[in-house]
Amino acid sequence: MAASAAGFAETVKSIGVGLATASGVAYACGYLARRARARALGLDPGFVLVDEAYVFAGFRFVLLTLLALLVAIPLLLAAHAVARRLSTMLRPGAHAAAERLCAFVLALATLGLFAITLEVKDALLRPASGLLSVALRDAVLGRNAVGVAITIIATALAACAVYWVGVRWAAGGANALTLVLGVLVTLLLFLLPIQQGVFWADRFVRVLERAPDENAGTASPVWLVDRSRDKVVLLVRDAAKKPKLVTFGADKLDGIAVTGTSSLDQLVGSLERP
């Protein structure tokens, strides 16, 4: 009986540790996603260490990553089949060379995905130039599916890399190539919440009845673009219809009615119209 009670207590303790770890990881991912969204849109909401918004963003990231992984399953199965086929066909020396080549390609792909993701910034106020920049800005604003495709590719690469590291570790423990793959896995796992913040983040903003009194001279409408625990970021237009982002204390919005919602695409479209 005492042994059963001890085993039950140990199980509950393990579950508690697992949940605490999962919550911590989700919180960190939510923070990265929120920071990435702010950079992509050109916001400066004044981040704090403790904010419940990170928790919701983190678990939203987990859900969307699982959906992306589900969509990427055919790619994963195809990659696994090709890898198994090559492992049976190649001699040991050729197999080792192929692994090094694949690791090199994975490193290039990881760096490329980072470069593409971090290319997007100030999407609300700065027009893009060039085919790639325009496509990425439109992805942030929800005008195309480029961001979804990039995220699915990154998720598939991360899953393949994690599986590859696990297989190599089980087969021979740590060696130079396994350590390199571990670094690439870490980079890809950091990249996923950043991509979620850039391409899959909340694309809807609230339309306010008016701006706070300190900004009463601006033209309507006024958009609430981002909100943290104690600060808000508004997109307003001055008398000359020039858009600008302004940060206020959250208490400044007390008593100001919300008259509707707008997508980022609609918001930017209204700013681009003369």
Task: Identify the domain containing residue 194 by its residue range.
Answer: 2-199
Per-residue 3-state assignment (H helix, E strand, C coil) for 105-134: HHHHHHHHHHHHHHCCCCCCCCCCCCHHHH
**132 and 146 in contact (C-beta within 8 Å)?**
no
Q: Based on the fold, state whether residues 194 and 211 are members of the same structural domain.
A: no
Q: Based on the fold, state whether residues 192 and 210 are members of the same structural domain.
A: no
Q: How many angstroms separate the Cα of 210 from the Cα of each of 220, 224, 254?
A: 7, 10, 12
Of the residues 199, 233, 263, the one at which a domain ends: 199
> What's the pLDDT at 243?
82
**140 and 147 in contact (C-beta within 8 Å)?**
yes
Q: Based on the fold, state whether residues 26 and 153 are members of the same structural domain.
A: yes
> What's the pLDDT at 166?
86
> What's the pLDDT at 3?
52
The total number of structural domains in the chain stands at 2
Q: Which two tokens stand for residue 90?
A: 């190649």
264-272, Cβ contacts within 8 angstroms, sequence gap of 24 or more? 264/41, 264/123, 264/124, 264/140, 264/141, 264/142, 264/203, 264/204, 264/205, 265/141, 265/142, 265/143, 265/203, 267/124, 267/205, 267/223, 267/235, 268/123, 268/124, 268/141, 271/124, 271/237, 271/243, 272/127
Q: Based on the fold, state whether residues 44 and 141 are members of the same structural domain.
A: yes
Q: Based on the fold, state whether residues 15 and 127 are members of the same structural domain.
A: yes
> What's the pLDDT at 114?
93
Of the residues 160, 180, 199, the one at which a domain ends: 199
Q: Based on the fold, state whether residues 263 and 177 are members of the same structural domain.
A: no
Q: Based on the fold, state whether residues 123 and 42 are members of the same structural domain.
A: yes
Q: Based on the fold, state whether residues 224 and 149 are members of the same structural domain.
A: no
Q: Based on the fold, state whether residues 122 and 245 are members of the same structural domain.
A: no
Residue 125 phi, psi dihedral angles, 5° rounding: -115, -20
Of the residues 156, 175, 199, the one at which a domain ends: 199
Query: In 10 A of CB 222, how many CB atoms?
Result: 22
Q: Based on the fold, state whether residues 209 and 183 are members of the same structural domain.
A: no
Q: What is the pLDDT along the chain (274 residues), one digit of tens a residue?
A: 555 555 655 665 666 666 567 777 778 888 888 888 888 888 876 666 666 778 888 888 888 899 999 999 998 888 888 888 877 887 878 878 888 898 999 999 999 999 999 888 888 888 778 888 889 888 888 888 898 899 999 999 999 999 988 888 887 766 788 888 899 999 999 999 999 889 887 788 888 888 786 655 566 788 888 887 778 888 888 767 788 888 888 888 888 888 888 888 888 887 776 5
> What's the pLDDT at 34?
86
Whole-angstrom distance, CA of residue 75 vs CA of residue 32: 27
Q: Which two tokens stand for residue 172?
A: 């021979």
Q: What is the pTM of this model?
A: 0.83
**243 and 227 in contact (C-beta within 8 Å)?**
no
Q: Based on the fold, state whether residues 27 and 146 are members of the same structural domain.
A: yes
Q: Based on the fold, state whether residues 46 and 15 are members of the same structural domain.
A: yes
Give the closest residue to 257 by CA, choosing from 224, 233, 228: 224
